[in-house]
Structure 1
Amino acid sequence: MKMINKAAMTISGLAMLSSSVFAQSLADAKKAIDAEQYQKAESMLKNLTQTQPSKDENYFYLGWLYLKKDYSDSARATFTKGISINPKSALNYAGLGAADRVDKNTAAAKSNFDKAVAVIDKKDTEPYVYIGKAYLLDPNPDANAAIQILQKGIAANPKEKNPELYAALGDAYRSQLKNTDAYDNYTQALAINPKMVSAVVATGVIWKQANNFEDSEKEYRKALSIDPSYGPAYRELAETYLRWGRNSTKTVSEQKYKQAVDFYKKYLDLTDRSIDSRLRYAEFLVYAEDYKALEQEANELAKIAPKNDLIVYRFLGYSAYENKNYAAGLDALNKFISQANPKRIIPLDYLYQGRLQIALGQDSLGINSLRKALQLDTNQVEAYGEIAKSLYNQKKYLEAGDAYKTYIAKSHEATLNDYLREGVSYYNAFKAQYYSTATPKPIPDTTLIVKADTAFNYIQKHATAPIATVALYEARANDLKEPSRNTSQGYAKPYYEQYIQLITAKGPVADADKQFLAEAYVYLGTYYEYVEKNEAKAAENFAKAKENDPTNKQVADFFARKGGGAGKSK
């Protein structure tokens, strides 16, 4: 009997040991995911699915890892495997819903989330955590839905104090820039688990968003005092120093950028420099606008990354454009866009593809690519400006004017030069209609000249001083407003006079400006000859026109008509 009891105890002990090893291994895998050690976590979880194939949660965390690595198809297959093992696996139904959201299938996502909630064990709050996190995933985060499900998870079992529920709720509020609510929930998570290092780091991110860089840094340092090997704290330090640099003087910013790169390298060291972490570093270099380093890193990654990991070509394309290696950049980005899963294409991919195509003279293709970027995200406002510039270079002035107008309306960075380009585009579009020799002759769209004049007027009102070039275009635009070419109302007169005053006030007139100065004097000479019937004033202005541009045809015609008797003005 004693032998049997001893054996039973031994078997029981082995079972307990096995359970302990499993629990510890899964906990380590989850910790590796949180620390962004994805290669390590993947290895551990694949091993767990083989050694503990009946544990459905192993499949969930492996699938969740695939989602974080942007492999939604692999994630879906893994979650489905977990459900085949346990048809009541709330976690894996939550995972399927998350995959649906990544794939923009809202209806399927809700269905799977509902299935997850229906089978949740009353004592289990983890599925609520991951449904909430799923609602925060790109490309269509829904913070309100996340908040609702997370609050439901807290209410479902008030005695089950799961700090991850509160931390995820903090993330949801932070995504809405409701930083007070976010802070309160991170504080609640830390009250439950004071060593929850991810919540400490998240608190630092709140301060970063408020541009309180000193307090942000303190939180990251605090996180590292809890866990010196916690890589995300160094990543956030890097990204905070990057933002810090952008909000500093040039001297300070250069120092902060260097520190940012150093912190990111430390992050890489702590995440075992896996391909995944190096890809994230490449993404950081995009935001840091360090394209020399990005191109070098991307070329190195291309040598070691799996052939099916096409994202390397994205970074090669971006960096090659910025470094003016246009042909190589377009080859790389074309490969990525043509071979990658369409779900992985982001607006910036089409934006850079368009830029590369335009740089190589493929303007029509480039404009199409830029428009694809806008179809995916209308907030890519710089695309409107680049489309406008390309259209202008192709002399498609009407389309260019509309594109500049849209860019100005949507951008917070539009300059007076953009207003000038808008005005000149509309002016040229109207002029092309006005002087068209087509049969039948088109009726000029007078709204175009009004739009042009409006843009020019805006510049003169908002510039620190009147601009000569703008005055010249105002004169030309107002001249085209004349109801008849035979009966001038003198609409352009004050603008040509202003142009003359602005150009001559600078001192000696530059050779490049002389033909335009002659244009102004010719207009005034013609106005005085035919409208005011003032021969002396007409001759005076034509003489000044001749001084600046003797080859002007209207000047030659005037003096031919007058017998060549007019000399130089005094």
Structure 2
Amino acid sequence: MRVKFKSLILVAGMLALGATSSFAQSPEVTGALKALEADRLGSAREALEKAATSSPSAENQFYLGYYYLRLASAEDEGSVKIAEYLDKAKAAFDKGVADDAKSKFPLNKVGQAGVLLGQGKLAEATALIDQVLADTKSRDEDVLWRAAEVYTLFTKKGQANDPGKAITLIDQIAGLKKKKDRPEYQIVKGDAYLIKNEGGPAISAYEEALRLQQDTQMAALAYTRMGRVWKRGKNYSSTQTSYNDAIKADEKFAPVYWEFAELWLFAGNYKNAAENLDKYIQYSEESPDVILRYVKFAFLAQQYQKVVDALAKIEGKVNDPDLPRIKGWSLTELGQYEQGAQNLETLLKSNPKKVYADDYRYLGIDYRELKQDSLAIMNFEKAAAAGDTVFNNYEEIAKIRQAQKRYLDAAKAYDQSIAWKDKRPDKRPTYADFYRKGIAYYQHISSAKDTTVVPEAVESFARMGTMADSTVKANTQLTPEQKESLQGFVVMTPLWQARSNRLFTDRAKALPYYEQYIAVADTAKNQKELIEAYQYQAYYEFLVTKDNDKGKDYMRKILALDPENAEANRILNPPAPAVAPKKGAAKPKTAGAKASSAPAKN
């Protein structure tokens, strides 16, 4: 359910990419960058903003801009926060360039190029980076590193990257006479190979980072990156091993718990996902930025109460248009339908141009549970019209119409439900869909005495039987119980077709279907239904062919199944006629007594 937020978890942890520099740093900046690596976003922002304000040097402006550049790279695809963070990053980099009249700190221009990449402007970014490289004669280790890094930051639609150039720039560092062997360089190189989907070279780069590392946090980062490569290759056993190695290296490295939670979420193990998510919060921090990311992940992990509780902590502290939506959806999932509807109605009124099919679907569920059928149907219809590919809104409409006894509308909605499924390879219609559709038509025929839709009912039941039979024949893994259940639908097909035809004055229309049913029914399992079929045949003979003997034969078959059957006994064993009193005999003394009526004709 929730496709919109899924891309967020695919980039979670991207904030921790190594943020040290050869330029001299104040202790506050160094601590902030370590916090950034560990996803302690609030602490990092506070320290970097303070440094940029109290000492507005070109260097401090770069690291503030770098912080926002990382946030932009980790945002969900299509999020309005991307533009907000890129604007803040640009403002810092621009100020850094303006404050650096002698161009002693060229990294702000690299940062400006990073903003352009986040905006999808590859050509402009490349031109700017090339200019910085020319100005520094490609001999500045930090420029080469940071330029390579920004080429790997942005991977979503509408953004730009160049992993090939990133690898080239990192390799150029090795040719410098004065250089440092930093694990951060190998992390960037591994990320570039991962963008290129070259797992082997990526693992090699991360292993080299592991060899070069000199602190536990970098070791944890390298192992986490290796796990990401294994996950991309669907080697989930090695993925878990790498993540566990990261935890052994530094159990307080928060990003690995985020990655682990995402892995368990993918596997459908919501309990383990939630446990790792809680550890992520424990080892990062409860800043509004971190909680915001936590909320979106917790929703995907179906931890709806955690979502609502976490949202209460940041209400009024962050400006994210998705939060009212997530809250409304979560309240609905928790069964708090009235509050869920209120949240979503407020959301739709505040931003009517940005509405998703999910919004209408959840509103439909809210109103359905609140017994406000018209509002429920209206919202389910809007969800379907908006292209909901996850939830079958038509089926919900059909159920409501059926409960309202608007059977023809229900049948039409079931037909739409089948058409909706028919367009989706993962949600193909089944025999049960045609059964529900057929029953709705049958209920309409019976209640409205409308025979115009009998062909639709007959066709629906025919499709039901055919599909059930095909399922039995095509699936060799069915249990005996499953086979018996499916075969039951096959057997009942002609019975429902017969029932759908009973209203016709021409009794011959239903007769062949009852005959087909008798031929396949089981006398032990289908006794009640067989009696119905034999009775119809009997009265067909009594009333249409006038062959009373043949009709009585069918009644005898009923007695063979049910010796106490009142109707069959009345026909075959009528009570003896009352004897008329002899002439002159005394009349019965019972007051008001009358002679018994004549027996019913056979």
Instruction: Check whether TM > 0.5.
Output: yes
Distance 2:222 2:307 in 1: 30
Per the alignment, residue 286 of structure 1 pairs with: 299
| Distance change in 2, residues 1:372/1:128 (3 Å) | farther
| Distance change in 2, residues 1:240/1:537 (3 Å) | farther
Per the alignment, residue 520 of structure 1 pairs with: 533
1:43 Cα deviation from its structure 2 partner: 1.6
1:72 Cα deviation from its structure 2 partner: 3.1
> Normalized per residue, which structure has more helix?
1
Contact 1:387 1:403 in 2 (8 A): no
Contact 1:129 1:164 in 2 (8 A): no
Per the alignment, residue 403 of structure 1 pairs with: 417
Please show how residues 70-219 of structure 1 align to structure 2 within 5 Å.
Answer: 70=79, 71-82=81-92, 84-85=94-95, 86=97, 89-95=109-115, 98=118, 109-110=119-120, 112-120=121-129, 121-122=132-133, 123=138, 124=144, 126-127=146-147, 129-130=149-150, 132-136=152-156, 140=157, 149-155=162-168, 158-160=171-173, 162-169=185-192, 171-172=194-195, 181-192=198-209, 194=211, 195=213, 196=218, 197-207=220-230, 214-219=237-242
| Distance change in 2, residues 1:376/1:498 (3 Å) | same
| Distance change in 2, residues 1:164/1:18 (3 Å) | closer
| Distance change in 2, residues 1:315/1:116 (3 Å) | same
Query: Which of residues 487, 493, 498 is equivalent to 2:514?
Result: 493
Query: Which of residues 456, 462, 467 is equivalent to 1:453?
Result: 462
1:228 aligns with 2:251: yes
Question: SS state of the match for residue 225, structure 2?
Answer: helix
Per the alignment, residue 421 of structure 1 pairs with: 433
Per the alignment, residue 371 of structure 2 pairs with: 361
Contact 1:25 1:44 in 2 (8 A): yes
1:267 aligns with 2:280: yes
Q: Given the two structures, how large is their TM-score scaled by the length of structure 2?
A: 0.65
Please show how residues 470-549 of structure 1 align to structure 2 within 5 Å.
Answer: 471-477=491-497, 486=506, 488=509, 490-497=511-518, 501-502=521-522, 504-506=523-525, 519-525=532-538, 535-541=548-554, 544=558
| Distance change in 2, residues 1:223/1:355 (3 Å) | same
| Distance change in 2, residues 1:538/1:115 (3 Å) | farther
Query: Which of residues 37, 62, 65 is equivalent to 2:40?
Result: 37
Per the alignment, residue 57 of structure 1 pairs with: 62
Distance 1:28 1:287 in 2: 32
Instruction: Judge which range, 467-476 or 451-460, deviates more.
Output: 467-476
1:474 Cα deviation from its structure 2 partner: 4.3
Contact 1:238 1:261 in 2 (8 A): yes
Per the alignment, residue 20 of structure 1 pairs with: 24
| Distance change in 2, residues 1:445/1:524 (3 Å) | closer
The aligned amino acid for 1:153 is: A
Q: Which runs of 5+ in 1 are unaligned?
A: 1-16, 99-108, 247-255
Question: SS state of the match for residue 505, structure 1?
Answer: coil
| Distance change in 2, residues 1:66/1:166 (3 Å) | closer
Contact 1:434 1:444 in 2 (8 A): no
| Distance change in 2, residues 1:326/1:306 (3 Å) | same
Contact 1:388 1:404 in 2 (8 A): no
1:269 Cα deviation from its structure 2 partner: 1.6
Contact 1:42 1:62 in 2 (8 A): yes
Distance 1:530 1:281 in 2: 74
1:231 Cα deviation from its structure 2 partner: 0.2
Distance 1:168 1:496 in 2: 66
| Distance change in 2, residues 1:328/1:83 (3 Å) | same
| Cα deviation 1:38-69 (Å, max 9, x = unaligned) | 21222233234423364563453243355346
Aligned residue-pair number: 492
Per the alignment, residue 600 of structure 2 pairs with: 564
Contact 1:208 1:216 in 2 (8 A): yes
Please show how residues 420-439 of structure 1 align to structure 2 within 5 Å.
Answer: 420-425=432-437, 428-429=440-441
Distance 1:383 1:398 in 2: 13
Higher relative contact order (CA 8 A, sep 6+): 2
1:392 Cα deviation from its structure 2 partner: 5.0
Contact 1:318 1:352 in 2 (8 A): yes
> Percent identity at matched positions?
18
The aligned amino acid for 1:21 is: Q
Contact 1:301 1:312 in 2 (8 A): no
1:119 Cα deviation from its structure 2 partner: 1.1
Q: Which runs of 5+ in 2 are unaligned?
A: 1-20, 99-107, 139-143, 175-184, 473-482, 575-597
1:276 aligns with 2:313: no
Instruction: Judge which range, 471-480 or 397-406, deviates more.
Output: 471-480
Distance 2:148 2:459 in 1: 58
| Distance change in 2, residues 1:231/1:315 (3 Å) | same
| Distance change in 2, residues 1:46/1:212 (3 Å) | same
| Cα deviation 1:57-100 (Å, max 9, x = unaligned) | 345324335534652342243244246444994533543553xx
Distance 2:22 2:208 in 1: 32
1:331 Cα deviation from its structure 2 partner: 1.8
Distance 2:395 2:66 in 1: 44
The aligned amino acid for 1:352 is: Y
Per the alignment, residue 346 of structure 2 pairs with: 335
